Amino acid sequence: MARLYGSRKRILITGGAGFLGSHLTDRLLDLGHEVICVDNLFTGTKRNIDHLHRHPRYEFMRHDVCFPLYVEVDEIYNLACPASPIHYQHDPVQTTKTSVHGAINMLGLAKRLKCKILQASTSEVYGDPAIHPQPEDYWGNVNPIGLRSCYDEGKRCAETLFFDYHRQHNLKIKVMRIFNTYGPRMHPNDGRVVSNFIMQALTGEPLTIYGEGKQTRSFCYVDDLVEGMIRLMDSEDSVTGPINVGNPDEFTIKELCELVLTHTGSASKVIYLPLPDDDPKQRKPDSKLALSLLNWSPSVELAAGLVRTIEYFRWVQANA
């Protein structure tokens, strides 16, 4: 039952000061809902939510999801978790705690409130995939003890918890496997390939390709991703996921590097550095389920999305 009048809902977003969470907030406020953002500002920044503080339907709470949380809401989007390799490897124990304890607390909250809860899972649950593209019924190829494991296994355990709360307590769950997403408000120093290449190009530093640059990723623009996330939350209760949401256009890292150089007009050099451990060789979503169940497919091409992202990073530079 809605806690507010009409179709307006009060919605909790954990990790709401981060890259994806702040865009999701903007969209939900535009749709007329109330948003409570819970974030410990580990990787999120006040800059991402500065424009929201005076908004009458927005509230920020500084809180760590590893600890219990008592609020009254209609829906929960659970996004709290550092997402880039350098951030999640900075304090790997805390990363696993955030995924696992955070999931338990948010599921406990959803159970008490009998409300829907969406988990921001990841294509990393497929690890270094042996099947290409990756369909949702592929169980993955994940190293349980490597440098990426704190994130990958934490997210896998969170998925397990979501499905056990669903089976055991009849909870309404939505598990979304997000593939590489980029756009304005990415952290300029998060070490992810899109932010690294753009910042390097804008500052005239060499662009750093790890390995030979033949590894692939499929990059989804943030607006498309947020649309998929809201459609999943609003889908029939029978749609639990897991469901892949990502752009199936696949690029090598070398191709991405060339695109960034072209669209920034930068004269930066390109250098080759060693490939990090367990770096997946290829990644591309099988997105048939998202199309059939959510009628969702991405609309922003990589070049167009990069132009908007480059514009944002220029603004960050000018306002640093």
Active site residue 77: no
Residue 79 binds which of ligand NAD, ligand UDP, none (CB < 5-8 A, kind-dependent)? ligand NAD
Q: Is 316 in the site for ligand NAD (CB under 6 A)?
A: no
Q: From the candidates 58, 77, 88, 151, which is the catalytic residue?
A: 151
Q: Is 105 in the site for ligand UDP (CB under 6 A)?
A: yes
Q: Is 241 in the site for ligand UDP (CB under 6 A)?
A: no
Q: Which stretch binds ligand UDP (CB under 6 A): 47-55, 102-110, 238-246, 258-266?
A: 102-110
Q: Is 81 in the site for ligand NAD (CB under 6 A)?
A: yes
Q: Are 204 and 268 in contact (CB under 8 A)?
A: yes
Shortest Å distance, C-beta 170 to ligand NAD: 25
Shortest Å distance, C-beta 21 to ligand NAD: 6
Q: Is 260 in the site for ligand UDP (CB under 6 A)?
A: no
Q: Is 106 in the site for ligand NAD (CB under 6 A)?
A: no
Total residues in contact with ligand NAD, by rule CB under 6 A: 30
**String of contacts with ligand UDP for each residue 184-203, x by CB under 6 A:** --------xx--x-------
Conformation bin of residue 199: beta by default, left when phi > 0, alpha when psi is -120 to 50: alpha
Q: Are 247 and 220 in contact (CB under 8 A)?
A: yes
Question: 145 CB contacts (<8 Å, ≥6 apart)?
Answer: none
3-state secondary structure 50-119: HHHCCCCCEEEEECCCCCCCCCCCCEEEECCCCCCHHHHCCCHHHHHHHHHHHHHHHHHHHHHHCCEEEE
Q: Is 76 in the site for ligand NAD (CB under 6 A)?
A: no
Q: Is 178 in the site for ligand UDP (CB under 6 A)?
A: no
Q: Is 217 in the site for ligand UDP (CB under 6 A)?
A: yes
Q: Which stretch binds ligand NAD (CB under 6 A): 58-66, 164-172, 265-273, 290-298?
A: 58-66
State the residue number with the nearest CB to ligand UDP: 108
Indicate which single residue of 24, 79, 176, 209 sits in contact with ligand UDP (rule: CB under 6 A).
209
Active-site positions read: 151
Residues that bind ligand NAD (CB under 6 A): 14-15, 17-21, 39-44, 64-66, 79-83, 87, 98, 102, 120, 122, 178, 180-181, 187
Residues that bind ligand UDP (CB under 6 A): 68-70, 84-85, 104-105, 108-109, 111-112, 180, 192-193, 196, 208-210, 215, 217, 253, 275-276, 279
